[in-house]
Amino acid sequence: MSLEIPEVVINRLPVYARALTELAQRGESVVSSQALGELLDVTPAQIRKDLSYFGRFGKQGRGYNVNGLLSTLREILGIDRQWRLCLVGVGRLGQAIAEYGGFGPQGFEIVAAFDANPELIGQEIGGSPVHPIEDLERYLHSHRVDIGIVAVPAPAAQSVVDKLVAGGIHAILNYAPITAHVPRDVVIRHIDPVLAMQSMTFYIKRGEPGGK
Amino acid sequence: MSLEIPEVVINRLPVYARALTELAQRGESVVSSQALGELLDVTPAQIRKDLSYFGRFGKQGRGYNVNGLLSTLREILGIDRQWRLCLVGVGRLGQAIAEYGGFGPQGFEIVAAFDANPELIGQEIGGSPVHPIEDLERYLHSHRVDIGIVAVPAPAAQSVVDKLVAGGIHAILNYAPITAHVPRDVVIRHIDPVLAMQSMTFYIKRGEPGGK
For the stretch A151-175, pLDDT in tens is 999 999 999 999 999 999 999 999 9
* Burial per residue of B65-80, b for 16 or more beta-carbon CB atoms within 10 angstroms, e otherwise: bbeebbebbbebbbbe
Which of B60, B77, B94 is the last residue in one of the domains?
Answer: B77
Q: Which of B17, B9, B20 is nearest to B46 (CA)?
A: B9
Residue B212: predicted pLDDT: 36
Whether B201 is in a domain gets the answer: no
SS percent in chain B: helix, strand, coil, step 5: 45, 20, 35
Nearest CA in chain B to A153: B102
Pairwise CB contact (< 8 Å): B179 & A39: yes
Pairwise CB contact (< 8 Å): A193 & B173: yes
Nearest CA in chain B to A212: B144
Environment class of A47 (CB within 10 Å of its CB; exposed 0-12, middle 13-18, buried 19+): buried
Nearest CA in chain B to A99: B92
Whether A205 is in a domain gets the answer: no
Nearest CA in chain B to A13: B199
Distance from the Cα of A186 to chain B's closest Cα (Å) equals: 8
Q: Looking at the structure, do residues B57 and B104 belong to the same domain, yes or no?
A: no
Q: Looking at the structure, do residues B64 and B147 belong to the same domain, yes or no?
A: no
Residue B30 β-bridge partners:
B65
Which of A37, A55, A77 is the last residue in one of the domains?
Answer: A77
Within 8 A by CB and 6+ apart from B29, the residues are: B65, B66, B67
Nearest CA in chain A to B203: A1
More confident residue, A45 or B205: A45
Pairwise CB contact (< 8 Å): A203 & B102: no
Distance from the Cα of A61 to chain B's closest Cα (Å) equals: 25
CA dist B175 and A157 (Å) reads 23
Residue A207: predicted pLDDT: 58
Environment class of A207 (CB within 10 Å of its CB; exposed 0-12, middle 13-18, buried 19+): middle
Whether A210 is in a domain gets the answer: no
CB A108 within 8 A of CB A81: no
Q: Looking at the structure, do residues B30 and B87 belong to the same domain, yes or no?
A: no
Give me the helix-helix angle, B7-25 and B66-77, nearest 10°: 140
Considering CB atoms only, which of B77, B100, B177 is closest to A198? B77
Residue A173 β-bridge partners:
A149, A189
How does residue A211 score in pLDDT terms, banded at 50, 70 and 90? very low
Q: In total, how many domains does chain A have?
A: 2
Whether B206 is in a domain gets the answer: no
Q: Looking at the structure, do residues B68 and B158 belong to the same domain, yes or no?
A: no
Residue B206: predicted pLDDT: 61
Query: Which chain B residues are within 8 Å of A36, Cβ to Cβ?
Result: none
Q: Looking at the structure, do residues A36 and A125 belong to the same domain, yes or no?
A: no
* Burial per residue of A24-42, b for 16 or more beta-carbon CB atoms within 10 angstroms, e otherwise: beeeeeebebebbbebbeb
Residue B136: predicted pLDDT: 98
User: How many other C-beta atoms lie within 10 A of the C-beta of residue A83?
Assistant: 23
Cα–Cα–Cα angle for A135, A139, A141, nearest 5°? 125
Within 8 A by CB and 6+ apart from B71, the residues are: B80
Q: Looking at the structure, do residues A48 and A122 belong to the same domain, yes or no?
A: no
Spell out where B89-136 has E strands.
Answer: 108-115, 124-125, 128-132
Q: Looking at the structure, do residues A31 and A73 belong to the same domain, yes or no?
A: yes
Residue B59: predicted pLDDT: 67
Q: Containing domain of residue A145, as a range?
A: 83-195
Q: Looking at the structure, do residues A37 and A133 belong to the same domain, yes or no?
A: no
Q: Looking at the structure, do residues A190 and A144 belong to the same domain, yes or no?
A: yes
Pairwise CB contact (< 8 Å): B200 & A173: yes
Q: Looking at the structure, do residues B72 and B122 belong to the same domain, yes or no?
A: no
Q: Are strands B128-132 and A128-132 parallel, antiparallel or unpaired?
A: unpaired
Q: Identify the CATH number of the domain in which residue B36 sits.
A: 1.10.10.10
Integer angstrom CA distances of residue A55 from A27, A72, A98, A158: 25, 10, 38, 39
Task: Please write the tens of the pLDDT for every residue from B13-45.
Answer: 999 999 999 999 999 999 999 999 999 989 999
Pairwise CB contact (< 8 Å): A78 & B212: no
Considering CB atoms only, which of B41, B102, B185 is closest to A181? B41
Considering CB atoms only, which of A1, A96, A202 is closest to B10? A202
Query: Which chain A residues are within 8 Å of B151, Cβ to Cβ?
Result: none
User: What single letter denotes the amino acid at residue B102?
Assistant: G
Considering CB atoms only, which of B170, B193, B198 is closest to A191? B193
Integer angstrom CA distances of residue B198 from A133, A166, B189: 26, 23, 18
Backbone angles phi, psi at A209, to 5 degrees: -55, -30
User: How many other C-beta atoms lie within 10 A of the C-beta of residue B6?
Assistant: 11
Q: Looking at the structure, do residues A28 and A61 belong to the same domain, yes or no?
A: yes
Task: Pick out chain B residues at pLDDT < 70.
Answer: 1-3, 58-61, 206-212
Which of A28, A43, A77 is the last residue in one of the domains?
Answer: A77
Q: Identify the CATH number of the domain in which residue A125 sits.
A: 3.40.50.720
Give the distance from CA A140 to its chain's centroid: 20
Pairwise CB contact (< 8 Å): A146 & B92: no
Q: Which of A113, A16, A129, A9 is nearest to A70 (CA)?
A: A16
Task: Check whether A200 has a pLDDT greater than 90.
Answer: yes
CB B39 within 8 A of CB B18: no
- Ordered DSSP codes for A80-114: TS-EEEEEE--SHHHHHHHH-TTSGGGTEEEEEEE
Query: Which chain B residues are within 8 Å of A206, Cβ to Cβ?
Result: 1-2
How does residue A21 score in pLDDT terms, banded at 50, 70 and 90? very high
Integer angstrom CA distances of residue A206 from A199, A201, A211, B80: 12, 8, 9, 14
Mean pLDDT computed over every residue of chain A? 91
Whether B203 is in a domain gets the answer: no
Q: Looking at the structure, do residues A102 and A191 belong to the same domain, yes or no?
A: yes
When computed from its CA atoms, the radius of gyration of chain B, rounded to whole angstroms, is 20
Whether A167 is in a domain gets the answer: yes
Q: Give me the sheet containing A171-174, strands edge to edge.
A: A124-125, A128-132, A108-115, A83-88, A147-150, A171-174, A187-190
Backbone CA torsion sign across B198, B164, A177, B6: positive
Whether B211 is in a domain gets the answer: no
Whether B146 is in a domain gets the answer: yes
Per DSSP, the three-state class of A181 is coil
Pairwise CB contact (< 8 Å): B40 & A179: yes
